[in-house]
Structure 1
Amino acid sequence: MTVATVRRLQLLQYLGELEQNIAENDEAIAHLLHNGHNGRPRRQRRRYWIRPWITRRTQYGHFDRLMKELETEDVLSFKNFLRVEPDMFRELVDRLSPRLQKQDTWFRKALEPGLKLAITLWYLATGESYTSLMYGFRVPHNTISLLIREVCESIIAEYADEVIACPTTTDEWQQIAEQFKNRWNLDHVLGALDGKHIAIKCPRNGGSLYYNYKGFHSLILMGLVDADYKFIGVDIGANGSASDATVFNNLELKDVIENQNIGFPEADPLPNDNRNIPYFIVGDDAFPLRTWLMKPFARRTLTNEERIFNYRLSRARRVVENAFGILANRWQCLLAPMHQEPETVSSMVLACCCLHNLMRMRFPNLQNENLDQEDLNHHVVPGAWRNCANLTDLDNVGGCNRATIAAKTQRLYLKHYYNSPVGAVPWQNDMI
């Protein structure tokens, strides 16, 4: 083999290796162009800045078409659609617009405050998914997820201090006590207290923190309600694993009541009596018995007198159960597990309470069909939301501390009073 032949073979081998290296480099470059330098697939280029069917919102969306038709042609359907009267919807738009109005940009026009409010009310009224709302109102679901919380926080900021105002003066508390006396035949009552579990999806890393004794994850809504089913005190956000008593013990409301810094009236006699009795709120067996918090007798073998006292107390305590029933029946997002973060759920629930009180103030008769009623014989008709005594026992009260002894003594005295001729109502013996 000549020298020329050897050099020719070496050159061919070199050209083959060079061609293979070029091919490998082209493949590596193509891989990097497709996946990026970090090894992850490159994000696909957006096909649309705004989907064409969303840009036709003003022509076919619920807010610009359906709601205007309902307002002019069928007011009843409008109320069923958003759960509020047209006048109230306009009031909400007028008062919330300064908080919700955004500035238009070169890229897009800002959503109207009325549209944001309509989407939020529709969600609170139905609990539908954001995707379903997207196709009805022609607003992207990721935008809806932001604006609903924004509107709820605006409702709270605008209305909470006005419509959920806990009384602070003796005269205000006296008015509530007078309502309970006239409507529910129980004296010295300043409110009904109870807790409600709001079902939520288990938060990330939530573990069993929000898991309650009923078998689901929840936040606790603690409410104090007056005789007209309005919330005068609300706390939302405690984890579902806590008991009602634990939540109440951590509230500022309990501290100011115990320290007598809330303006409760001074103890005075019941009608036609001469013994001073403190004013109190009423609750169920989950709460501690105190002179300022009365609850039913809990023994299994109750005397007739104790049953009558429990019946009289339950007539007043039932208002808080009805308030929760009205709240959840109107804002049905509260009936199913809510998938938002706990902070967002708290804002939504508090906004619902504000709207509930606002409805009770503006249009009280619209929700009365959902309440428990009493027939002519004072038997309870469930509302639509859920299809001369011997006083010797007062001297033998025992307890772990003076507060408990005083509370038990007070409850026994009330028992005797409401079983006496001066405190009894004609139908109470038929109720036990």
Structure 2
Amino acid sequence: MTAEEFEFVLSKVAPLITKTHTKLRRAITAKERLALTLRFLATGESFSSLSFQFRIGESTVSMIVSQTCEALHRTLCDEYLKEWLDIAEEFLQKWQFPHCLGAIDGKHITIQPPAHSGSTFRNYKGRFSVVLMAVVDASYQFKYVSVGAQGRASDAGVFAESDFKQALDRNLLSIPAAKLLPGSDMEAPFVFLGDDAYPLRSDLMKPFSFRQMDHAQRVFNYRLSRGRRVVENGFGILANRWRVFLSTIMLNPDKVQKVVLACVCLHNYLNEDKLKKYFVTPAGQVPWQDNFI
């Protein structure tokens, strides 16, 4: 994150995290609160380590991280949204899959075992986690996230209980009506892409079974895989940018939810900001900066 990007994020969250001075002590500034939180998200350092670095008590560090993450989510969550047709066109141009509105998948966020939870949060890898289910567009932007499901739940189970499925069932997402496929007289609906764990629906497409596939089915699976992998790449970029995901987050599940949502919003902001630095040449798009992801 550049200094300009930091100042922009600070201008967004400052009204929500600025505290007033008292007669006994001066309040910690909004800039320090944001810097501390970003340090935690980017490194996954313990609160005791951050306490020594910023010369702030551990309990205060915990409170600042929780409050600032909540403020980041509130101020950035509605920014940088695209229309469905724009997303579908981007999938067609980049990954050659028409009528795609996004790729959906789940990711386990490793946490400390919550008190008195037994094996509720224990996943199939033997770790304790909460599940992040997300829909990602062709540019690795997160368009929908749901975090907090217990680690023992499968991707299909998380999807079945999500408000995303309920919105699909009730036609609340304003998904465009079916249209002709490019260069064809065949009409097809707009869909989301998932792996074999998800149910097959008219608005959710999954690959053919890997048994006894013909050539056309293999080609389809390859094309679907090209489109669906953006969600895997999105998770990878998210975890390597905010390295708190590469360690065990020593927080309760409700606070982990705030951390994840804040990281997703920051990820979208940084991605969108770097996309604006693209310029177009006759040969195609060229990154303006070498560190473009």
What TM-score does the superposition give when structure 2 sets the normalisation length? 0.91
CA shift for structure 1 position 321: 0.5
* Structure 1, unpaired ranges of 5+: 1-83, 367-384, 386-432
Q: Quick one: distance in 1 between partners of 2:19 and 2:175?
A: 45
Question: CA offset at residue 219 of structure 1?
Answer: 0.5
What is the SS of the residue equivalent to 1:195?
strand
Aligned mate of 1:339, from 241, 250, 259 = 250
Distance 2:183 2:273 in 1: 37
Cα deviation per residue 1:195-250 (whole Å; 9 max; x = unaligned)? 00000011000111111112111001010011111011111111111111111111
* Residues 368-407 of structure 1 mapped to structure 2, 5 A cutoff: none
Instruction: Name the residue aligned to 2:87.
Output: 176
Q: CA deviation at 1:266?
A: 1.2
Residue 20 of structure 2 is aligned to residue 103 of structure 1: yes
| 2:67 corresponds to | 150
SS in 2 for 1:197: strand
Q: Measure the CA separation in 2 of the matches of 1:123 and 1:306.
A: 46
Q: C-alpha separation between the residues in 1 aligned to 2:22 and 2:265?
A: 33
The within-5 A match list for 1:212-231 is 212-231=123-142
Q: Which amino acid aligns with 2:20?
A: Q
Once the two structures are TM-superposed, the CA of residue 275 in structure 1 deviates from its matched residue by 2.1
Match of 2:36 among 114, 119, 124: 119
Matched, 1:291 2:202: yes
Identity between Structure 1 and Structure 2 (%):
43
- Count the aligned residue pairs: 278
Q: Secondary structure at the match of 1:145?
A: helix
Tell me, in whole angstroms, the C-alpha distance in 1 between the residues paired with 2:55 and 2:167.
49
SS in 2 for 1:238: strand
SS at match of 1:363: helix
| Cα displacement (A) at 1:299 | 2.6
Q: Which amino acid aligns with 1:231?
A: F
What's 1:58 paired with? none
CA distance in 2, matches of 1:271, 1:162: 30
| Deviation per residue, 1:306-346 (Å, 9 max, x gap) | 22111110110011101100000000001111110100000
1:331-378 deviations in whole A, cap 9, x for unaligned? 000111111010000000000000000001112389xxxxxxxxxxxx
- Name the residue aligned to 2:151: 240
Aligned equivalents of 2:185, 2:18: Cα separation in 1:
60
TM-score with structure 1 length normalisation? Answer: 0.62
- C-alpha distance in structure 2 between counterparts of 1:304 and 1:275, whole Å: 20
Q: Distance in 2 between matches of 1:251 and 1:270?
A: 30
Secondary structure (helix, strand or coil) at the match of 2:234 reads: helix
Aligned amino acid, residue 175 of structure 2: F
2:113 maps to which residue? Answer: 202
Q: Which position in structure 1 is the counterpart of 2:50?
A: 133
* 2:197 counterpart letter in structure 1: A
| Secondary structure of residue in 2 paired with 1:210 | coil
After TM superposition, the structure 1 stretch with the greater mean CA deviation from structure 2, 179-188 or 303-312, is 303-312
One-letter amino acid matched to 1:97:
A
Aligned to 1:303: 214
Amino acid paired to 2:121: Y
**Structure 2 residue aligned with 1:402:** none
Supply the distance in 2 between the matched residues of 1:349 and 1:133 (Cα, whole angstroms): 19
One-letter identity of the residue aligned with 2:21: D
Deviation at 1:96, TM superposition (A): 1.5
Alpha-carbon distance in 1 for matches of 2:217, 2:169: 27
1:324 aligns with 2:241: no
User: How far apart are residue 152 of structure 1 and its match?
Assistant: 0.3
For 2:2 and 2:55, the matched residues in 1 are separated by 24
1:364/1:329 Cα in 2 relative to 1: closer, same or farther (>3 Å)? Answer: farther
Distance in 2 of aligned mates of 1:255 and 1:105: 48
Corresponding residue of 2:287: none
| Distance in structure 2 (CA, Å) of the matches to 1:353 and 1:331 | 9
How far apart, in 2, do the equivalents of 1:365 and 1:137 lie? 34
Task: Give the deviation of 1:106 after TM superposition.
Answer: 2.1
Mean CA deviation greater in 86-95 or 178-187? 86-95
Partner letter of residue 88 of structure 1? E
Higher strand share: 2
Letter in 1 for 2:3: P
Name the counterpart of 1:85.
Answer: 2
More helix by share: 1
Aligned CA-pair RMSD: 1.6
Distance (Å, rounded) in 1 between the aligned partners of 2:253 and 2:189: 38
Letter matched to residue 341 of structure 1? N
Among candidates 153, 177, 192, match of residue 103 of structure 2: 192
Task: Quote the residue 2:286 is aligned against.
Answer: none
